[in-house]
Amino acid sequence: CPASLAAPLAFTMLQLTRVYKGNSMFRGNASLNGQLSHVLEGNNVTQVIPLESPDAWARRQDEVIAYLGNFRQLVMLFNKERPTDFIHHLCCHLGCRLYPNGTAQSFYEVTLNRTAFLSFHVPSATWERRWPGELPVAAFAQAQLMKYPITTQDLQYFLNTTCVSLLQAQSARTGPVSGRSRTPLVLGLVLGSLGLLGMALGIFLCTGGSC
């Protein structure tokens, strides 16, 4: 829904990954202040709102395509070693909100097969398990994610600083989002973080839940 004057500004991203018999299928989107800004479908990512210059966006597309290719190859490799007939759906939902009083809130939530799986506690840059009950792969994924700066400190910086700065720049302007915006969008950083998230979660989910 379009943001109102009383509602917070928001930038959100959604990535959906379907893994089946070694094949990975991707789709997702991003929205800025209630307007669709990016679309991910298969190997194609498009910028609906021109938040970046054509040259910068071309580089960002290359980064996204490389990330998706690496993810897909790793899933195929693991499937050869430990094949499974299970279908897994991994959903990553992240972003930030800027309230009229100047305060901000960031979030990162992960669900597995429509059940809460992990969440990122932004102030402490730590991953927390949300799965209802014991699941070895949840503990394993949490431990793996905590090993890498790109999924802890870098992700914290994106959510607390880059994402919020995007909204602050939008708040300083009047009227709707326009094509003249040159607000930097570090989409590559987020998808890079999702790359390691995919390695720690999606790939090992192909083991059928055993670690």
CATH, residue 96: 3.30.500.10
Q: How far apart are CA 109 and CA 98, in angstroms?
A: 18
Instruction: Please indicate, yes or no, whether the overall pTM of this predicted structure exceeds 0.85.
Output: no
Are the C-beta atoms of residues 58 and 74 closer than 8 Å to each other? Answer: no
Instruction: Please check whether residue 209 lies inside any domain of the structure.
Output: no
Answer whether 92's CB lies under 8 Å from 193's CB: no
Asked if residue 123 belongs to a domain, the reply is: yes
Report the first-to-last Cα separation within the chain, whole angstroms.
41
Asked if residue 127 is part of any domain, the answer here is yes
What is the domain count for the chain? 1
Give residue-wise pLDDT tens across range 104-159.
999 999 888 899 988 999 999 999 999 888 777 778 778 878 887 878 888 888 88
Quote the mean pLDDT of the chain. Answer: 77
CB 207 within 8 Å of CB 141:
no
Per the domain annotation, does 205 fall within a domain?
Answer: no
Written as six digits, the tokens of 39 are 């679309």
Identify whether 88 is part of a domain.
yes
Within-domain flag for 183: no
Domain that holds residue 150: 9-174
Q: What is the block-wise mean pLDDT of the chain (211 residues), using blocks of 10 residues?
A: 62 87 87 88 87 81 79 73 76 91 92 89 94 78 80 86 84 52 48 57 50 43
